[in-house]
Amino acid sequence: MSGWVDFRELRQGLGIEQVLTSYRVALKHVGLHQLRGRCPLPTHGSERSQESFSVDTAKNVWACHSASCCEARQGRVGGNVLDLVAWLEGCSIRQAALRLQEEWYGAGMHVSEPQRASKGSSGSRSPERPPRLWFSLRLRWHPYLEERAVDPSTAAWLGVGYYAGGGFLRNRIVFPIHDQEGPLVAYAGRSLDGGQPRYLFPPGFHKSQVVFNLHRAVGESAGCALVVEGFFDCLRVHQAGYRNVVALLGVSLSEVQEQLLLERFPRLILMLDGDEAGQRASRQLAARLRGKVSLSIAEMPNGRQPDQLSSEEIGRILSRASDAPGA
């Protein structure tokens, strides 16, 4: 293993609980952000200390309070995820980081050193962009995508595919998420069997800070964005020929998302799900955005969502999209 390592990204981006799960370490929850159990480290030799190992998932740190275990680790009580893997594997911190990069993100990961901004650079981005990723995952086609009526060309265009590597995205359909300018900032994974949680996002990532597919839609928009809820909604509408589609990754619109959209599009078309939550969100957003942007509502069939519709149905619904009251 060799290459450049972003230690900060690994410390912040990999949750200790998920890494411990990959090592088949079972701990019990003793609080909202607290885990406790038997220490998994090879330095732990005490039979009496059955629950000396603790994890704070909010701070992403661990500790073992066994006196003999601490002594074997030169008096260190705990540390971060890199320290943990280094002790588990009996290797250096750098070796632990390289192992995490390879094992957690898979052999197909590409790592490159970031381009540092010059000291003389000025100006600020508003809203603040999430930190970019310095790797990419090797994804491939999976029959599940065909079951969801996604064409291979659509999946390839949006970079969506199946991930067989390690870590929390293993054996999931993975969606690359980019910020408003285009750099990759996160991956999200969807379970194949509908098991919970259906969607997983990396620790520390806030989906309310991004609009999915925004950077592509800007160039295809002609001043208008078509707003849907989820990943597969976005894929299906894009596949129907509407390249200006974006997804909120939910029914709510954060202040950051609102700013990202209003700064780029003078017109929006809401195409949220036809269930009660989606229709209620459409009404609320229409009232909230009144006077800020030209707004239309695409009325969905009762109980249905865009990813369940054919391209022809999507076209008919959008052709009948009406102006929101007061817009």
DSSP state of 243: T
Q: Please determine, for residue 150, whether its predicted confidence score (pLDDT) is greater than 50.
A: yes
The tokens of 226 are what? 């078509």
d(CA 135, CA 306): 31
> Is 283 part of any domain?
yes
Give the domain-ending residue among 175, 205, 235.
205
Instruction: Check whether residue 194 and residue 220 sit in a common domain.
Output: no
Q: Please determine, for residue 18, whether its predicted confidence score (pLDDT) is greater than 50.
A: yes
Instruction: Check whether residue 271 and residue 312 sit in a common domain.
Output: yes
Q: Please determine, for residue 131, whether its predicted confidence score (pLDDT) is greater than 80.
A: no
- How much is the mean pLDDT over the chain? 85
> Is 249 part of any domain?
yes
Burial class (CB in 10 A: 0-12, 13-18, 19+), 137: buried
Q: What is the pTM of this model?
A: 0.66
Q: Please determine, for residue 113, whether its predicted confidence score (pLDDT) is greater than 60.
A: no
> Is 84 part of any domain?
yes
Q: Please determine, for residue 185, whether its predicted confidence score (pLDDT) is greater than 80.
A: yes
> How does pLDDT run across 256-279, given as a tens digit for each residue?
999 999 999 999 999 999 999 999
Q: Please determine, for residue 62, whether its predicted confidence score (pLDDT) is greater than 70.
A: yes
> Is 184 part of any domain?
yes
Lowest mean pLDDT among 15-19, 60-64, 122-126: 122-126
pLDDT attached to residue 285: 94
Question: Is residue 80 a contact partner of residue 11, using CB atoms and an 8 Å limit?
Answer: yes
Peptide bond into 143 cis (omega under 30): no
> Is 116 part of any domain?
no
Within 8 A by CB and 6+ apart from 292, the residues are 262
Instruction: Check whether residue 41 and residue 64 sit in a common domain.
Output: yes
Instruction: Check whether residue 247 and residue 312 sit in a common domain.
Output: yes
When comparing pLDDT for 118 and 325, which is higher?
325
Tell me which residue range forms the domain holding 49: 7-105
Query: Using 50, 70 and 90 to split pLDDT, how confident is the model at 4?
Result: low
Instruction: Check whether residue 312 and residue 224 sit in a common domain.
Output: yes
Q: Which alpha helices (H) appear in 142-298, and where do they start and end?
A: 143-147, 152-158, 214-220, 231-239, 255-262, 276-289
Read off the pLDDT of each residue in 148-167 and give the average, rounded to a whole number: 90
Give the domain-ending residue among 186, 205, 224.
205
pLDDT attached to residue 27: 87
d(CA 239, CA 202): 27
Domain count, the chain: 3
CATH of the domain at 173: 3.90.980.10
Closest CA to 274 of 248, 306, 240: 306
CATH of the domain at 54: 3.90.580.10
- CA gyration radius for the chain? 23
Give the domain-ending residue among 155, 171, 205.
205
Query: Using 50, 70 and 90 to split pLDDT, how confident is the model at 146?
Result: very high
Instruction: Check whether residue 219 and residue 239 sit in a common domain.
Output: yes
Query: Using 50, 70 and 90 to split pLDDT, how confident is the model at 104?
Result: low
d(CA 316, CA 241): 13
Instruction: Check whether residue 193 and residue 161 sit in a common domain.
Output: yes
Instruction: Check whether residue 296 and residue 252 sit in a common domain.
Output: yes
Q: Please determine, for residue 210, whether its predicted confidence score (pLDDT) is greater than 90.
A: yes
> Is 125 part of any domain?
no
> Is 122 part of any domain?
no
CATH of the domain at 277: 3.40.1360.10
> Is 255 part of any domain?
yes
Instruction: Check whether residue 186 and residue 226 sit in a common domain.
Output: no
pLDDT attached to residue 259: 96
pLDDT attached to residue 257: 97
